[in-house]
């Protein structure tokens, strides 16, 4: 699950002059991504233990898919996806030979950037449909409980790990390194494959009418493309941050305001 160092270098070179190692560089590096994601990982894992009121492990489809992925190699465990995320980022940091120096302002600024970059998704919802789409595998009744926050964070985290970190990295490796597709073409292919599978991962017929809702399918595909671009341009941290904040807004915060009226 660890991306090849050569693949990372195509996106963000490791040999950057110290004077140029500002926010946009540091926020794309494994150490600060780990610091940014650690609260999300912990929150999601607390949810899987039922500390939010209900066990959310069975509600997170992407989390279950990651568990089945590990099971293919004979390794099984509820918390393996979370441990794999932490281990992957630490290994990347070591392989990159980055300094073990933390800039506390970076994770805080990543929250602000993620909130700002959630805007296009909210606009997309308004353009394509009247109500926000549900997260795959999550019961609306559960979202109304205090476990909803942990569910939204977990969905944002594990869907990005599965569809962006794993899928985009894998497809890009096959296309660029094995088939020798030009790098830009490999990235476009990886984003397209990831966005397509991300779309199919969700319920495209929420009314059980027997037909796919084209607006819903368009939303998930375009959202998948957007997350893919964020992943390649800004790294896993920002992609997860945007996804998690979007889920919190449309699945927890907005319905809460509506219920209180």
- Report pLDDT for 239: 98
Say if residue 16's pLDDT is above 60: no
Instruction: Name the pTM for this structure.
Output: 0.84
Question: Radius of gyration over alpha carbons of the chain, in Å?
Answer: 18
Would you tell me the crossing angle of helices 147-160 and 30-48 to the nearest 10 degrees?
A: 130
Sign of CA dihedral 38, 84, 157, 4: positive
**% of the chain surpassing 70 pLDDT:** 70
Q: Are 40 and 240 in contact (CB under 8 A)?
A: yes
Burial 81-96 (b: 16+ CB within 10 A, else e): bbebbeebbeebbeeb
pLDDT tens, residue by residue, 27-43: 999 999 999 999 999 98
Q: Are 31 and 100 in contact (CB under 8 A)?
A: yes
CA–CA gap between residue 196 and residue 208 (Å, rounded): 21
- Report pLDDT for 28: 95
Quick one: tokens of 85?
């995320």
CA–CA gap between residue 185 and residue 156 (Å, rounded): 27
Q: Are 83 and 181 in contact (CB under 8 A)?
A: no
Ramachandran angles phi, psi of 71, nearest 5°? -65, -25
Sign of CA dihedral 153, 158, 161, 167: negative
Domain that holds residue 191: 5-260
CA–CA gap between residue 58 and residue 55 (Å, rounded): 7
CA–CA gap between residue 151 and residue 240 (Å, rounded): 14
Q: How confident is the model at residue 186 (pLDDT cuts 50, 70, 90)?
A: very high
Ramachandran angles phi, psi of 203, nearest 5°? -80, 110
CA–CA gap between residue 69 and residue 84 (Å, rounded): 12
Q: In the chain, how many domains are there?
A: 1
pLDDT tens, residue by residue, 114-123: 999 999 999 9
**% of the chain surpassing 90 pLDDT:** 51
Distances (CA, A) of 173 to 82, 129, 137, 201, 216: 23, 35, 29, 22, 30
- Report pLDDT for 49: 75
Max CA distance (Å), the chain: 58
Q: Stretch 203-207: mean pLDDT, rounded?
A: 75
pLDDT tens, residue by residue, 62-107: 666 766 665 555 555 667 888 989 999 999 999 999 999 999 999 9
- Report pLDDT for 195: 97
- Report pLDDT for 24: 94
Q: Stretch 43-53: mean pLDDT, rounded?
A: 72
Q: How confident is the model at residue 9 (pLDDT cuts 50, 70, 90)?
A: very low
Say if residue 182's pLDDT is above 50: yes
- Report pLDDT for 44: 84
């Amino acid at each position: 699950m660890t991306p090849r160092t050569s693949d990372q270098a195509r996106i963000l070179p490791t040999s950057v002059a110290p004077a140029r190692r500002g926010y946009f560089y540091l926020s794309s590096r494994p150490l600060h991504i780990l610091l940014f994601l650690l609260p999300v990982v912990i929150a999601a894992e607390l949810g899987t233990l039922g500390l939010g009121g209900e066990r959310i492990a069975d509600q997170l489809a992407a989390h279950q898919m990651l568990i089945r992925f590990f099971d293919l190699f004979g390794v099984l465990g509820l918390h393996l996806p979370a441990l794999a995320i932490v281990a992957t980022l630490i290994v990347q940091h070591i392989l990159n030979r980055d300094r073990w120096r933390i800039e506390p302002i970076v994770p805080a600024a990543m929250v602000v950037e993620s909130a700002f970059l959630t805007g296009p998704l909210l606009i997309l919802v308004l353009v394509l449909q009247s109500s926000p789409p549900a997260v795959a595998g999550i019961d609306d009744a559960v979202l109304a409980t205090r476990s909803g926050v942990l569910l939204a964070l977990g969905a944002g985290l594990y869907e990005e790990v599965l569809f962006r970190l794993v899928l985009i990295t894998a497809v890009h490796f096959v296309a660029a390194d094995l088939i020798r597709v030009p790098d830009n073409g490999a990235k476009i292919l990886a984003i397209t494959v990831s966005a397509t599978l991300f779309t199919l991962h969700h319920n495209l017929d929420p009314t059980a009418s027997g037909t796919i809702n084209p607006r819903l399918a368009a939303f998930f595909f375009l959202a998948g493309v957007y997350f893919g671009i964020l992943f390649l341009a800004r790294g896993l941290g920002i992609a997860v941050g945007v996804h998690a904040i979007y889920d919190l807004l449309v699945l927890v915060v907005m319905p809460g305001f509506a219920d209180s009226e």
